[in-house]
Amino acid sequence: MGINNLASYQTMDLGKEWSYTILACFACAAFLILRTRERLKSVPMPNGASVLWGHEQIVFNMSAGMAYAQWLKELNTSVLKIRGALGKLDLLVLADPFAVTYILQRRIYDYPHSEVVRPRIGRLLGKSLGWVEGEKEHKRMRQLVAASLSPEAIRSSAYNVHAAADTLQERLEAHLADKSGDNIINTIDWTNQATLDVIGRFAFTHDFGGGINQEAIDILGAWRNMAKVGISRKGFLVLMVLRRFPFLNHLPLEALMAQGNVRSTIREGIAQELIRRSQRLPGESTDDNSLLSRLVSAHNAQLISMDELMDHITMFIFAGSETSSQTLGYALWELAKDPKRQSQLREECLAYSGHLSYDDSQTKLPYLDAVIREVVRLHPALAYMERVSVKEDVLPIRHPLQAPDGQELKNIKISAGQTIVIPIHAINRMDSIWGDGSAFRPERWLEDLPARDILFSGWSNVLSFSDGPRNCVGTRLALFQMKVLLMTLVRRFEFQDTGSVIINKIASSMQPTVQGKEELGPYLPVAVVTL
C-alpha cells in the first residue's frame, strides 16, 4: 500500500472515530434526558415552555422569583419541574419542607453548587468559603472565620457598627441640606456605602471613608457594572449558554469579565493594603481579634495560602456588605409605602435611649425586630439557589404526588447530575404557610406563628440565610447592622413613596430596578425628609 493510500485510510479511520464519538455523545445525552424525564414523570410541569429557552426565559422576564410562585400556586403543588434552555435536562423545583430540609441539613455535601453557579461564585468571590465544596474543606474554612462573627465578637465591636451608622446619618443630612428640593435618593447607593463602611470597620479595622473614599468608589463601581450587565438580556443569554455548555465558563465574555472585575478590584487594591498593614514581626502579640487578624494568623501558620487569604478578604468585603445593603434598601422602600407602620417603628426607636447594644437588639425593640424579620422574609438576597446531585438519591416529600397510575408518591427518585432549584423567594411568601405571604405585615412576628409542621427550618422559619451546615456564617452581624442602621435612619428621617414600580432582577443576588428605567441598573428610589 502506498503512502498516499495509507494516509487516505488513516484519514477515513479518523473521520469514523470522530463520527462514532459524536454519535456516542448524542446517545449518552439522549439517554440522560429520557432517564431524567422518566424519573420525573410524576412531577407536574407548567405550560408555556418555548422550544429554545424552555421555561427559563419566563423566569428571567418576570420579577425575580415570581414565576416559581405563580407555578406552584397554579399547579397546587410544592414540587414541579421546568424545561431547561437549549435542551438542558429538566430542572427540579423544590418548595417542599421535607425535601428542602433533607438537602440543606442532611445531605448538603452531596448537593454542591450547580455547574453554572460555582464558576460564577469563583469569578466574583474567588475560591473562598462560598465557593468551596466538600465537607472537610468547607468545615475547615468556616472554622477559620466563625469566631470573628460570634455574638461575643459583635458585642465587643458594636461601636464600629454605630460609627458607620452615625456617618451615614451625617452624610444624608448634609446631602438633603445641599440638594434643596431634590430629596429623592437611590436607597441602594446609600445602603451600599453604609454596609461597606460597617464591614470595613468591623472585619478589617479599615475606614472606607463612610463608603465614599476612592477604594469604596472603585469597589462599588465594579459591583454596579457587574449588576447592570447581569440583569440585562445579554446576561441572561450568557447564563443559559453556560448552563448548557459549562466548559465555556472561561471565555472572555463581557458578563463574565464584569464578575471578575469585582474580585480583581478588591484583590489588586484594598486586599493587598490590608495584608501589608496587618503583617507583624514573629512573636509579636496583639489583642486584635478581627476577621483580618485571624485570617492573617492562619496564613502565617500555613493553614491557608495567600490566594485563599486574598479570596476570603474579597468575599467578606463584597458579600458581607452587598446582601445586607439590598435588604436594608428594601426595608426603607417598604416603610416609605406604609407611613403608619413607619411611624410606629419610629416611636419605638425614639423611646430607646442611646446606641443599640447587641443584647438589647435581641429583646428590647420587638417592633424593630419584627420589621427586619418581615423584610428579610419578603426580600431575600437570593431569589433562589441551585444545587446539583452528585449521585442518585431519593428525596422525601411532605406533600405526596399523584403517579400516572393513581398511586400516591411520598418520595422522588432523582439521577446523578439532576439540577435542583430551591425557590427561596417563593417559599418565603407561600400563602399556604403565611396566609398573606406577599403582604408586608411585621405584626405577624408578634403573633402566634403558623403550625410548626408546615414551616420550613432555617432562621426565623425562612430560607433567606439558607439552612444547615452551609447557612450564612454572617447572619448575626447582618441582622445587627441592619437594625442599627434602620434605627438610626428612622429616628432622623421620614421616608416617602415615589410611586415607582419596582421589578426585581437577578445579578448573582436580587437587584431592584424601576420599570421603564432598567438601563439605570439597581435602583430603589424613595423620597427623604429630615425630621
Tens-place pLDDT, residues 241-285 = 988 888 888 777 777 888 888 889 999 899 999 998 887 544 444
pLDDT of residue 4: 52
Element (DSSP H or E) covering residue 367: helix 366-378
In a domain, 126, yes or no: yes
pLDDT cut 70: percent of the chain above it: 91
pLDDT of residue 280: 58
In a domain, 145, yes or no: yes
- Give the residue-averaged pLDDT of 52-60: 95
Decide: helix, strand or coil at residue 305.
coil
| Residue of higher predicted confidence among 283 and 56 | 56
The residue behind cell 411568601 is 429
Domain count, the chain: 1
CA angle 200, 206, 210 (to 5 degrees): 65
The yes-or-no verdict on residue 286 having pLDDT over 60 is: no
Q: How confident is the model at residue 10 (pLDDT cuts 50, 70, 90)?
A: very low
Of 31-40, 69-78, 89-98, 99-108, the one with minimum mean pLDDT is 31-40
**Start-to-end CA span in the chain (Å):** 97
Most confident of 87-91, 304-308, 340-344: 340-344
pLDDT of residue 281: 40
Residues 6+ apart with CB under 8 A from 263: 123, 124, 125, 126, 311, 314, 318
- Give the residue-averaged pLDDT of 188-202: 96
In a domain, 490, yes or no: yes
Tell whether residue 472 is among the known ligand binding residues: yes
pLDDT of residue 17: 53
The residue behind cell 456588605 is 321
Decide: helix, strand or coil at residue 530.
strand
CA angle 86, 91, 93 (to 5 degrees): 145
pLDDT of residue 22: 46
pLDDT of residue 398: 94
| Residue of higher predicted confidence among 236 and 372 | 372
The yes-or-no verdict on residue 15 having pLDDT over 90 is: no
Q: How confident is the model at residue 501 (pLDDT cuts 50, 70, 90)?
A: very high
Residues 6+ apart with CB under 8 A from 390: 110, 111, 112, 416
In a domain, 16, yes or no: no
The mean pLDDT value of the chain amounts to: 90
In a domain, 292, yes or no: yes
pLDDT of residue 357: 97
For 287-327, write each residue's pLDDT tens digit.
467 899 999 999 999 999 999 999 999 999 998 899 999 99
338 bridge partner residues: none
Q: How confident is the model at residue 27 (pLDDT cuts 50, 70, 90)?
A: very low
In a domain, 476, yes or no: yes
The residue behind cell 472585575 is 261
The sign of the dihedral angle between the CA atoms of 15, 17, 20, 25 is negative
User: How far is it, in rounded angstroms, from Cα 12 to Cα 241?
Assistant: 33
Cβ-contact 515, 486 below 8 angstroms:
no
Q: Which is nearest to 82 in space by CA: 63, 115, 105, 59?
A: 59
- Give the residue-averaged pLDDT of 181-192: 92
Domain that holds residue 441: 40-530
In a domain, 308, yes or no: yes
Nearest-Å Rg of the Cα atoms of the chain is 25
CATH number at residue 153: 1.10.630.10
pLDDT of residue 28: 47
pLDDT of residue 319: 87
The yes-or-no verdict on residue 7 having pLDDT over 50 is: no
In a domain, 2, yes or no: no
pLDDT of residue 23: 47
For 356-405, write each residue's pLDDT tens digit.
999 999 999 999 999 999 999 999 999 999 999 999 999 999 999 987 77
The yes-or-no verdict on residue 467 having pLDDT over 70 is: yes
Residues 6+ apart with CB under 8 A from 17: none
The yes-or-no verdict on residue 44 having pLDDT over 80 is: yes
Whether the predicted model's global pTM rises above the 0.75 cut: yes
The yes-or-no verdict on residue 408 having pLDDT over 60 is: yes
User: How far is it, in rounded angstroms, from Cα 185 to Cα 373?
Assistant: 24
Element (DSSP H or E) covering residue 165: helix 158-178
